[in-house]
Structure 1
Amino acid sequence: MTLEISRLLELTTWRAFDVADDGRVLAGCDESGSVQLVELAEDRRTELTALPGAVTGRYLPGERAVVVQHDSDGNERGQLSLLRLDDRRSRPAPLSELEPLVRDPDHVHRLLDVLPGRIVYATNRRNGVDFDVVVRSVVTGEEHVVHDGGGMVSEVSVSPDSRFAAITVPAAKPLSDQVLLANTMPETGADRLRELTGRDLAARHLHPGWRAGGLVVTSDAGRDRTGIAGLDPRTGEHRWLVTSESHDLSGRLSPNGETLLVTTAVDGSHRIALHDAGTGEHRMDVALPTEGWCGYPLPEPVWSPDSRFAALSFSSPTTPGDVLLVDTATGTCKPLTFSAAQLAGEVVAEPSVHRVPARDGQHIPCFRYSPASPDGSAVLIIHGGPESQSVRAFNPLVQAMVSRGHTVLVPNVRGSTGYGKRWYSADDARNRLESVQDLADLHRWLPSVGLDPSRAALWGGSYGGYMVLAGLAFQPELWAAGVDVVGISSLVTFLENTAPYRRAHREREYGSLRADADFLREASPLNRASAIAAPLFVLHGANDPRVPLSEAEQIVGAVRANDVPCEFHVYPDEGHGLAKRPNRLDAYPKALTFLARHLS
C-alpha cells in the first residue's frame, strides 16, 4: 500500500520549547499548517497562538507569560512579543493580541535567554550587520547592552547572580566557537569583556552553563570528539567531566548547576543519561520510547527553572515528532504526545546503517531505507549546513519515496557533524569538492546493494542543494535527475548577495571572496552549467535571506539555455525552505512526480 505524500505531510508533529516548574510544557505543534505554540499540562492541551507563520517561544520565569518569537513569511527578521497566559482563554491569540516587546521589522531580533522579569536577545539594529547582546526589562522596557563587539552571536548564559554573561560567538576557524565573558556591571571596575578561549582555536564551545566554580561547556578543544568540560572563568582552562573516544557528546547543565543531561550521538540516534555536574559521574540512563533523535534540527533539550524536569523533542523513523517529559529525580521519561498513532497500520521504513567505502580509504556513514518491493532506482538525500548531519528521524519525503519503490540513501558526507572534528573539517574552504567526490563514491557503491546506477537521483536543500547542483555539474555522467531546494548555485554570488550579517560567518566555511575567489568560482556549479545534462527541479522561497532567490534564477536560466528540462517553482510567502503546509502540499507531490518520471 502506497503512503501518499499528502497524507504524510499532514501528519501533526510536536516539539518542546520550554518547561515550567510544575511540569507544564510550552510546545510547538504544526497541526494548523505552521508551528504554533501549545501548552501541554496534565493531559490538557491549550492552543496559545494563531500567527500567519511559524513561531517559537519561552516561558517568562516566575510568571504566567510566554515570550513569542515570530517573523514575516520566512524572512527571519525575528520580532519578540509577550503573551499573558490566562487559563480562561478559549482560543489561540492572533498577532494583534500579543504585547510588543521588541518590534522593528527591518532588523533581526533573536531570543537568547529568559530571566525573571527580563529577556536576553541579540539584535543587528545598530548597523544591520553586527549582533549586539541586550538585556531588556519586561516591566520597564529599560535595556542594557552587554556585548557589542561585532559579528554573529550563538548562545548566551547569564550567571545566577546576573553579574556575568558567557557568550559564544563564531571563532576564526570553520565551525569553531569562542567563549567571551561579559561583565554586566562594568562599574565594578572589572574588565567589561574577556576572552575565555582564543579566537584562533579550532574547537567547538556549545551550551554554556553556570555552576559553583565556573562554567560547563560542550567542547572538542584538543580532541576529535565533543565532550563536556568545566571551563575556568578566570583562566579559560578546560577540565573534562564526561568524554568518549568513539562518540560525540553534548551536555545541558541544569539551572541549579548540579545535573548534566548528556546526549550521546550514535550513528544518527541519541542515547540520554543524567550525570553529576561536579564530578561527571554517571547517575542514570533515560529510556527513550524507541531508538531516535533528541536535538538539532529539533529544539535542544530544556530544563525547568527548579531543575526537576527536562523536556525533550523526540523523533524516530517511525515517530513524526513528540514531546517527552523527564523527571530527573527518577529518570522516568513520559511521552506527552503520541504522533506515531497517526501511522497505525502503516508500513513505515526504518534504515539500515552502512559505511560506504570512499576513494581514499575513508568510509562515508550512510542510512539506507529500502522498499518492500524495490524498483532498482536510488535517491540520495543530502543534508544542508554543511555543518549539520542527517539523523534517524521521521522524514515524510523519505517515506513517500520508499513507498513508491525508490531506495533512499541518506549519507553524512565530509563536512557532516556527529562523527568527530576530522570528518566535519574535511571539506573546509579549498577542500569543498572533497564532499562532492563523496557523491561519486556513493554512486559507485549502488550495484553492491542491488541498485541500478543509471537510475540514481540527487535531492538536497540549502547546502544540500549546492551538492545536488555540484553533482550534476561535476559528475554529469552519473546522475539521472536532481531536486534542488533553496540551493546555492554559485559560491561567489551567494557570498556577495546573502544577508550582510551572514557573509563573514559563511566565509569561514567556504573561503573568502578576497582570498579564495578563484577557487570559489572553480567549485561553483553555475560555472559548469553547460555540463549539466540531467533534468532539474528547483524550489525556492522568495524571501530567503540566506540563499537569495537569484541563486535559483541564475541556474535555472543557464540550464534552460542548454535545452535541459528544468521545472522551477517559487513561493512568495516562504524563506529558506517551505515552512507552510499548503506550500509543501503543492511543491513536494510535483517533485516526487518529477523523480518518478525520470527514474522509471
Structure 2
Amino acid sequence: MTTARDTLLHRLLDATTWRAFDVDAEGRILAGHDASGSVQLVELRPDGTRVPLTALPGAVGGRYLPGRRSVVVSHDAGGNERAQLSLLDPDAVDEPVGEDGLTPLVHDPDHIHGLVEVLEGGRVVYATNRRNGVDFDLVVRDVDAGTETVLYDGGGMVGNAAIAPDGTRALMTRPGRPALSSQVLLLAGDTVTELTDADEHARHLSPEWLPDGNAALLTTDAGRDHLGVARLDVATGALTWLVTDDAHDVAAHLSPDGRLLLVLTDDDGASRLAVHDVDGTFLRAIALPPELRGGVADFLSTPRWSPDSTGLAVTWTDPATPADVLIVDAARGRAAVAASSREPLADLDLVDPTSHGVPTPDGETVPCFVYAPREPSGSSVTIVHGGPEGQSVRSFSAIVQALVGDGHTVLVPNVRGSVGYGKRWYSLDDVERRLDSVADLAALHAYLPHLGLDPARAALWGGSYGGYMVLAGVAFQPGLWAAGVDIVGISSLVTFLENTSPYRRAHREREYGSLERDRDFLERASPLNRIGDVRAPLFVIHGANDPRVPLSEAEQVAAAVRANGVEVEMAVYDDEGHGLAKRVNRLDAYPRAVAFLGRVLAG
C-alpha cells in the first residue's frame, strides 16, 4: 500500500534539476538536465527552444568549444569516474545521441581524462593519469591537428589550470603538503616555477590570467583565515588583496574581457552575489528573482560568463529549488530564471532551516542547520556531509524534506573539518584530530533536548566521509544513536587507503594520515575495529563501481555487524559509483532507508 510518506518522498525524488555548464557567443546555454534519470546535456536557445543533446547511460557534463559550433562532452561508464572526452555537433542532433553519436576526442577507458578548460583555436585542456595511473599530467589537445602538448608531468594531482593570453605560459594548482592546501605553479616550456610554497598551509584556487599577462586573479586564504580574492604577480608571486571579508569566504570569477568580477560571498551556507570592478571596487549587488529563497550558487557547476562579458549562467539551489539555471545581467544587477525546477513542487510546504551554534565540551561551536517539521514527533536525524572538506549549505535535499515530512527534525551540521567557516575550522580534523570531529556528533546529540527532541530517538545519516561519521558515531558512541544510514561510507581508514584507487590514496593520505607513518592511529580511528560495540541497526547503500570507497568497505562492516546479531539492511547497485547518480536507484534505495528510520525511531 502506498502511504502519504511514500508519495511525498517519490515526488521529491522525482524532482528534476538543471545546471549551467557554459554559454556561447550567440547566447545559447549548455545545460544539464536529469529528466531522463541522470544528468544529460540540453541546449537552451535564446528563442526559448530546449534541444536535448545526449542520452548516455550515465551522467555527463560539457563545454562549448569557443569559436565553433561544437561541444566537448565529458562522460564515464557506470559511475567509475574514468572520464572520457568526445565531441558533439549540436546542429546535427535530431534525437539525443548515445555514445555512438559522439566523435571520440580523448578515449582510454582504463584512465581518467578530466576536462579542465576549452580555448580558442580548437584547443582542449585536460588532466589525465594515463602515464602511470597515479599522477596526473596536464595536456593541451589541438582538435583539428590531433596533436597534443604536455604542459606538466611533475607528479601529483592537477587542480585548476589557466593558459596565458599569449599562449606560451600556463598557471596550474596542485596539492601542497599540508592537508587541504594547494600551491600555484607557473609553466613556461620545460620550466616549472613554484609561485607559492608547497609547505604553506593555504588554499590557492581557480587562477585566471589578467589581460596584460603579468598577473592573475586568485581565490586564496594565504595568510588569513577566510578565502579572499587577490591579484597574483606572476613574476614575484606577490599577492595584492582585492576583495576580502574577515567573517566570510569570498570567491570571484573574472569576465572574459578582464574588466569585471562576479563575487560570491559564503554567508553561513548561503550565497551573496555581486559585481565588482577588476580592481576590487564594489559596483552592484545581484538581485535574485523573488520566488527564490536564501540558497547557494556555484554548488553544482561553476558560473560561466558569456563571451561578451555582459552576463553569466549560474546554477542556483535553495531548500525549495532543486536546481535552476539563472541568467545574470551584470550591468543591471539582476538575475532571471532560464530553466526552472520549482513548479512540480510548488504546492508543497517545504521547510527552510534555522541556524544554530552547537557548543562542544572543548569550547568550540559547531554550525548547524535545523529543519523542523510543523508537527515534530520528537525524533531526529543528523545528516553529515562528505569530504571531509565539504560544506553543508542551504540547498534542496529530497531526503531532508522527506524526513521532515515524516515528523523527524533534521540537523545538518558543519562539523570541524568543514570548509566555509575559515581555515582554523577546516584544519581541526586533520590526521590525529579525526576523532575530535567524531566527538562533535556527541555534542550535537547533547543539544537535542534544547530543541525539544528525544535523545533516545536519534539517528545518523551520511554519505562518503559522512558515511564514515555514521559508522564512527554508532561504534564510538553506541549509547547515543538509535540507527544509522551509511551511504558509500568508509568503515576502516586502513582498508580504505589500501584499496582505494591509487591516485586517490596518494591524495587522501594528506588528510587522513599515512599508512606508513600513522597506521596505529588509523586503526584506532576505524569504526570496524570497534564493531563489537555497535548496537544500532544499520541501512547500508553502496555502488559496485565506486572507485573512491570500494564496495568492500560496505561488505565488511555489514558482515561484522550482522555477525554480532545486529540488524543490517544493505542495498548495492551494479551501475553506480560513488553515490547514486541515477534516479531509478535513488527511488529504490531512499524510500527503503526512510522507511527503515521511520520504523526504528518510532519508539
2:76 corresponding residue in structure 1: 71
2:107 corresponding residue in structure 1: 103
Deviations 1:289-311 (A, max 9, x none): 33444445411211223322211
Instruction: Give 1:45's match in structure 2, choosing from 50, 54, 57.
Output: 50
Counterpart-to-counterpart distance in 2, 1:101 and 1:559: 47
Counterpart-to-counterpart distance in 2, 1:559 and 1:297: 36
2:243 corresponding residue in structure 1: 242
Secondary structure, counterpart of 2:339 in structure 1: coil
2:200 corresponding residue in structure 1: 201
2:356 corresponding residue in structure 1: 354
Alignment of 1:418-457 (within 5 A): 418-457=420-459
1:159 corresponding residue in structure 2: 164
Contact 2:358/2:444, CA 8 A, preserved across alignment: yes
Counterpart-to-counterpart distance in 2, 1:292 and 1:51: 34
2:485 corresponding residue in structure 1: 483
1:554 corresponding residue in structure 2: 556
Secondary structure, counterpart of 2:518 in structure 1: helix
The answer to whether structure 1 residue 273 and structure 2 residue 274 are counterparts is yes
2:117 corresponding residue in structure 1: 113
The answer to whether structure 1 residue 136 and structure 2 residue 141 are counterparts is yes
2:311 corresponding residue in structure 1: 309
Counterpart-to-counterpart distance in 2, 1:303 and 1:147: 27
Counterpart-to-counterpart distance in 2, 1:230 and 1:5: 47
With 408-417 and 41-50 compared, the bigger mean Cα shift is at 41-50
Counterpart-to-counterpart distance in 2, 1:424 and 1:300: 22
Superposed displacement of residue 531, structure 1: 0.5
Q: Which amino acid in 2 is paired with 1:21?
A: A
Contact 2:202/2:223, CA 8 A, preserved across alignment: yes
Counterpart-to-counterpart distance in 1, 2:257 and 2:467: 43
Contact 1:263/1:273, CA 8 A, preserved across alignment: yes
Contact 1:135/1:146, CA 8 A, preserved across alignment: yes
Counterpart-to-counterpart distance in 2, 1:6 and 1:52: 22
Secondary structure, counterpart of 2:441 in structure 1: helix
Counterpart-to-counterpart distance in 1, 2:250 and 2:467: 29
Superposed displacement of residue 268, structure 1: 0.8
Counterpart-to-counterpart distance in 2, 1:307 and 1:507: 41
Deviations 1:293-346 (A, max 9, x none): 444541121122332221110000011110001122222211101211111221
Q: Which amino acid in 2 is paired with 1:71?
A: D
The answer to whether structure 1 residue 288 and structure 2 residue 293 are counterparts is no
Flag structure 2 segments of 5+ consecutive residues without an equivalent: none
2:475 corresponding residue in structure 1: 473
Counterpart-to-counterpart distance in 2, 1:11 and 1:45: 18
Counterpart-to-counterpart distance in 1, 2:482 and 2:518: 32
Counterpart-to-counterpart distance in 2, 1:415 and 1:302: 29
Deviations 1:505-546 (A, max 9, x none): 101101111111010000000000001000011000000000
Superposed displacement of residue 25, structure 1: 0.9
2:503 corresponding residue in structure 1: 501
1:10 corresponding residue in structure 2: 14
**Number of residue pairs aligned between Structure 1 and Structure 2:** 592
Report the TM-score when normalising by structure 2.
Answer: 0.97
Deviations 1:198-217 (A, max 9, x none): 10000011111011330110
Secondary structure, counterpart of 1:4 in structure 2: helix
Secondary structure, counterpart of 1:454 in structure 2: helix
Contact 1:356/1:445, CA 8 A, preserved across alignment: yes
Q: Which amino acid in 2 is paired with 1:382?
A: V
Instruction: Give 2:380's match in structure 1, choosing from 371, 378, 381.
Output: 378
Contact 2:296/2:395, CA 8 A, preserved across alignment: no
Q: Provide closer, same or farther for how the CA distance between residues 295 and 202 of structure 1 changes in structure 2, counting only shifts above 3 A.
A: farther
Deviations 1:244-269 (A, max 9, x none): 01111011111222111110001111
Counterpart-to-counterpart distance in 1, 2:293 and 2:251: 17
Q: Which amino acid in 1 is paired with 2:25?
A: D
Counterpart-to-counterpart distance in 2, 1:272 and 1:223: 22
Alignment of 1:572-587 (within 5 A): 572-587=574-589
Q: Which amino acid in 2 is paired with 1:285?
A: A
Counterpart-to-counterpart distance in 2, 1:210 and 1:294: 26
Secondary structure, counterpart of 1:339 in structure 2: coil
With 265-274 and 15-24 compared, the bigger mean Cα shift is at 15-24
Contact 2:430/2:511, CA 8 A, preserved across alignment: yes
Contact 2:269/2:296, CA 8 A, preserved across alignment: no
Superposed displacement of residue 568, structure 1: 1.0
Counterpart-to-counterpart distance in 1, 2:522 and 2:339: 46
Deviations 1:124-168 (A, max 9, x none): 111111100000011111000000001111111111111111101
Contact 2:293/2:320, CA 8 A, preserved across alignment: no
Q: Which amino acid in 2 is paired with 1:119?
A: V
Report the TM-score when normalising by structure 1.
Answer: 0.97
2:233 corresponding residue in structure 1: 232
Counterpart-to-counterpart distance in 1, 2:301 and 2:395: 13
Counterpart-to-counterpart distance in 1, 2:263 and 2:110: 39
Cα-Cα RMSD: 1.1
Secondary structure, counterpart of 2:517 in structure 1: helix
Counterpart-to-counterpart distance in 2, 1:409 and 1:68: 38
Counterpart-to-counterpart distance in 1, 2:68 and 2:329: 22
Q: Which amino acid in 1 is paired with 2:207?
A: P
Counterpart-to-counterpart distance in 2, 1:296 and 1:514: 37
Contact 1:292/1:314, CA 8 A, preserved across alignment: no
Secondary structure, counterpart of 2:161 in structure 1: strand
Deviations 1:47-72 (A, max 9, x none): 01010100000000011110000000
Q: Which amino acid in 2 is paired with 1:238?
A: L
Counterpart-to-counterpart distance in 2, 1:358 and 1:44: 53
Counterpart-to-counterpart distance in 2, 1:428 and 1:452: 32
Contact 1:247/1:266, CA 8 A, preserved across alignment: yes
2:35 corresponding residue in structure 1: 31
Counterpart-to-counterpart distance in 1, 2:183 and 2:570: 41
Q: Which amino acid in 1 is paired with 2:103?
A: E
Counterpart-to-counterpart distance in 1, 2:497 and 2:288: 41
Secondary structure, counterpart of 2:343 in structure 1: helix
Counterpart-to-counterpart distance in 1, 2:535 and 2:110: 41
Contact 1:294/1:300, CA 8 A, preserved across alignment: no
Superposed displacement of residue 363, structure 1: 1.0
Alignment of 1:158-177 (within 5 A): 158-177=163-182
Deviations 1:69-120 (A, max 9, x none): 000000000000000121x633111110100000100111100000121100
Contact 2:300/2:315, CA 8 A, preserved across alignment: yes
Counterpart-to-counterpart distance in 2, 1:334 and 1:375: 39
Contact 1:77/1:105, CA 8 A, preserved across alignment: yes
Counterpart-to-counterpart distance in 2, 1:181 and 1:310: 28
Contact 1:294/1:312, CA 8 A, preserved across alignment: no
Counterpart-to-counterpart distance in 1, 2:32 and 2:481: 38
Secondary structure, counterpart of 1:459 in structure 2: strand
